Amino acid sequence: MNERNELAVKQEDRTGQPRGANLPAIDIFEDPTGITLVADLPGVTKDRLNIKVESEVLIIEGEASVQVPAGVRLVHGEMREPRFRRTFRLGPEFDRDAISANLKQGVLTLRVPRIREAQPRRIPVTAM
């Protein structure tokens, strides 16, 4: 009886046309070795999450799916669109090949390290 049935979408919207997407809420913090990006993606599973870097742009895309019994009609919807999408411009000082991602309970944590040369370095001063 339980099947994947998107409660997050209005029936009449399911036309297969490209639609708008939710802008997920994010936190970003930076430390000397890189930046950490935390995004709220409720209902998104690992296989429905797509993270990519195209030229200088980091793209996060995901689609929420909530398991409910068949035959449910939406009567009140604050999350009308199951798709999430947000893009960020990455500066050249970030190492796009070393980005790591972790998804837990609908929260994505992305770690974008700085390229080693771009990290602040302390130059040792030696006394002669």
91 DSSP assignment: P
**Contact status: 67 vs other proteins (CB under 8 A):** yes
Q: Which residues have C-beta within 8 Å of that of residue 77, sequence separation ≥ 6? A: 8, 10
42 counts as binding other proteins under rule CB under 8 A: yes
Beta strand pairing call for 67-69 and 57-64: unpaired
In the complex, least distance from residue 22 CB atom to other proteins, rounded to whole angstroms:
9
- Cα dihedral sign for 21, 6, 40, 80? positive
The pair of structure tokens assigned to 115 is: 């390229």
14, 74, 100, 116: which one binds other proteins (CB under 8 A): 74
- Contact between 57 and other proteins (CB under 8 A)? no
Does position 89 interact with other proteins (CB under 8 A)? The reply is no
Q: Which residues bind other proteins (CB under 8 A)?
A: 7-8, 23, 25-32, 35-36, 38, 40-45, 64, 66-79, 104-107
